[in-house]
Structure 1
Amino acid sequence: MRVLLLGANGYLGRYVADRLLADPAVQLTALGRGDDADVRFDLATGSPGALARFLDAVHPGVVINCAGTTRGGARELTRHNTVAVATVCESLRRSSCGARLVQLGCAAEYGPSQPGSSTAEDAVPRPGGPYGVSKLAATELVLGSDLDAVVLRVFSPVGPGTPAGSPLGRLAEAMRRAMQAGDSELRLSGLGVQRDFVDVRDAARAVHAASLSAAQGVVNIGTGRAIRLRDAASVLARVAGFGGSLQELDAASARGPAAVEALGGPPAYPYPDGCGSWQQADVRTARDRLGWRPRIALEESLADIWMEAACRI
């Protein structure tokens, strides 16, 4: 099976590439903006016609799109998360390759949900910020394209390579600084939010499974269990061997200069993804249509995050 992978150098894309390369039946070609891509192409500025000609030449059976960005203003998010996907869809429509499209979406497309609930694929999306809006627009483009396509809405990915600017990445960095300074107390804010953390390697397995399946529409990729960030911080302290105390600050005291912000500048709520205090995936569709279940426990994911942070001590 010939696979064209877009965004192979991103956080999720790297693990998807590793997973595909481990499959002897896959012939992988990576397309991206970096020099290390097999083929250089910028989806945000390149023409659908040029990409269609490349598709006709390579003739992949599957196109996997992991490209995009989580940072920047509305214009940049729209260019890289929405316009880029429009280019992919149009090029596939023009091409004669007939490739299946696996598009990576995100849980931010759903926006806030009711505490205690599990969000299923038929929930009405109400994204709470420009990132979620740009990703939802991309999903709508894929669903309206009439292509053989599936969108995987990945919930909160964690594990090795977790970006330093993400909530868990900042938490690990704050703990590293505290241990390096010999502090016996780590003061954090914004730990009350609850998210469905799924290991990035499990997400890569889901992408691989989706590329082999006939599933279409939207499929949630998560664990089906929301974890409070406060509990994740306690697990991280245990795997890191941090013997000090974790003191949680409320939003008001977090505004003081003594606060160590796990989630960025005060106030820590809302969580940066615009999804409020709670998010948990209903993962029955992934189980039933992809034959996929998460395998890696959060403790292992956090241990890997910590190993990378510890290397900076």
Structure 2
Amino acid sequence: MRVLLLGADGYLGRRVADRLLLDRDLQVTVLGRRDSADIRFDLSAGSPGALARFLDAVAPQVVINCAGATYGTPRTLVRANTTAVATVCEAIRRSREPARLVHLGSAAEYGPVPAGAPIAETAEPRPVGPYGVSKLAGTELVLASGLDAAVLRVFDVVGPGAPAASLFGRLAEGLRRALEQQEAQVRMPDLSAYRDFVDVRDVAQAVRAAAVSAATGVINIGSGHSVRAREAAYLLVRASGFEGVLTEEPRTVVVPVQSAGEPGEPRGAEARPLGEPVPWRQADVRTARERLGWRAHTPLEESLGDVWLETACRV
């Protein structure tokens, strides 16, 4: 089977590429912006027509889109997560033999949900913030494209290769620095939220399963379990051997405060605690099991141990 992989330089894309290249039944071509790609192309700036010509040359049976942005300005996020997806969908439609599309979405598309229950694919998405909104827009474009397409709505990814700006990438680097400099404290943002952590290697397996399946529509990819971020953080602390204090800094918002003496007279401003906008996330993974034959296998402790091992060995 011929596969065209988009976004192989990203955190998820690298693991997906590793998994696909191990499969002798797959012939993988990588399209991206860097010199390491087989085909150089910028999805956020290139035209659908130009991409369609590359598709006709490669003639993939499946296109896997791991490209996108997690951080950046709203404009950057929209270009990477929405405009680029529109380009991919239109290019596939224009190609001589339209390929199947497997697109990576995000659990951030769901936004706040009632705590205590797993989130099914039928839940009404209500994303908060530019990232979730831009990812949902990309998903809607795929679903409305008329293509043979599946959207893997990936939950909270952990494991080796975690970006420095991610929760556990930041914590691992903070622990390494604290151990090297003999510091007694590591500061982190609020860790009270519950998340469904899934190993990046398990996600790569899910992408491979979706590529060779006939499943369409949205499919949740998660562990099916919710864990408080604080508990997960302490697994990483334990793996590092750090014996100091992990201090959480709650999110705050600056609000004006009125004078107690004269109504309406401003006294200044103060920072007040700001609640986590999405305090709970847990995937309902029955669709992935039934339609992809997939489930997560890597324990969270192993995922975080590998995060620490990679960080500790970094030169």
TM-score above 0.5, yes or no: yes
Check the 8 A contact 1:190/1:268 in 2, yes or no. no
Check the 8 A contact 2:176/2:311 in 1, yes or no. yes
Q: Distance in 2 between matches of 1:229 and 1:267?
A: 22
Q: Which amino acid aligns with 2:299?
A: A
TM-superposed deviation, 1:244 = 2.8
Q: Distance in 1 between matches of 2:297 and 2:274?
A: 30
Deviates more, 1:7-16 or 1:175-184: 175-184
Report 1:13-162 matches (<5 A): 13-162=13-162
Check the 8 A contact 1:103/1:152 in 2, yes or no. yes
The residue number in structure 1 matching 2:296 is 294
Q: Which runs of 5+ in 2 are unaligned?
A: 253-270
The residue number in structure 2 matching 1:240 is 240
Check the 8 A contact 2:250/2:274 in 1, yes or no. no
Q: Distance in 2 between matches of 1:32 and 1:90?
A: 17
Residues 20-77 of structure 1 show CA distances to partners (whole Å, capped at 9, x for unaligned) of 0000010000000111100000111111111111111211100000001111111111
TM-superposed deviation, 1:88 = 0.6
Residues 124-179 of structure 1 show CA distances to partners (whole Å, capped at 9, x for unaligned) of 00000101111100100000011000000000111010001011111112222221
Q: Distance in 1 between matches of 2:72 and 2:82?
A: 14
Distance change in 2, residues 1:156/1:269 (3 Å): farther
Distance change in 2, residues 1:186/1:33 (3 Å): closer
Check the 8 A contact 1:7/1:32 in 2, yes or no. yes
Q: Distance in 2 between matches of 1:88 and 1:249?
A: 41
Q: Distance in 2 between matches of 1:105 and 1:52?
A: 22
Residues 64-100 of structure 1 show CA distances to partners (whole Å, capped at 9, x for unaligned) of 0000111111111111110101011001111122210
The residue number in structure 2 matching 1:277 is 279
The residue number in structure 2 matching 1:165 is 165
Deviates more, 1:92-101 or 1:24-33: 92-101
Q: Distance in 2 between matches of 1:208 and 1:25?
A: 11
Q: Distance in 2 between matches of 1:243 and 1:299?
A: 18
Q: Distance in 2 between matches of 1:287 and 1:268?
A: 40
Task: Please give the root-mean-square deviation of Cα atoms over the aligned residues, in Å.
Answer: 1.8
Q: Distance in 2 between matches of 1:7 and 1:270?
A: 34
Q: Distance in 2 between matches of 1:288 and 1:169?
A: 33
The residue number in structure 2 matching 1:311 is 313
Q: How many residues align?
A: 297
Check the 8 A contact 2:251/2:275 in 1, yes or no. no
- Structure number with higher strand proportion: 2
Q: Percent identity?
A: 63
Structure 1 runs of 4+ with >2 Å offset: 183-189, 243-252, 266-271
Q: Which amino acid aligns with 1:302?
A: L
TM-superposed deviation, 1:226 = 1.1
TM-superposed deviation, 1:208 = 0.2
Q: Distance in 2 between matches of 1:127 and 1:137?
A: 10
Q: Distance in 2 between matches of 1:121 and 1:243?
A: 41
Q: Distance in 2 between matches of 1:297 and 1:234?
A: 15
Q: Which amino acid aligns with 1:30?
A: V
Q: Distance in 2 between matches of 1:156 and 1:32?
A: 24
2:199 matched to 1:208?
A: no
Check the 8 A contact 1:189/1:268 in 2, yes or no. no
The residue number in structure 1 matching 2:221 is 221
Q: Which runs of 5+ in 1 are unaligned?
A: 253-265
Helix, strand or coil at the partner of 1:97: coil
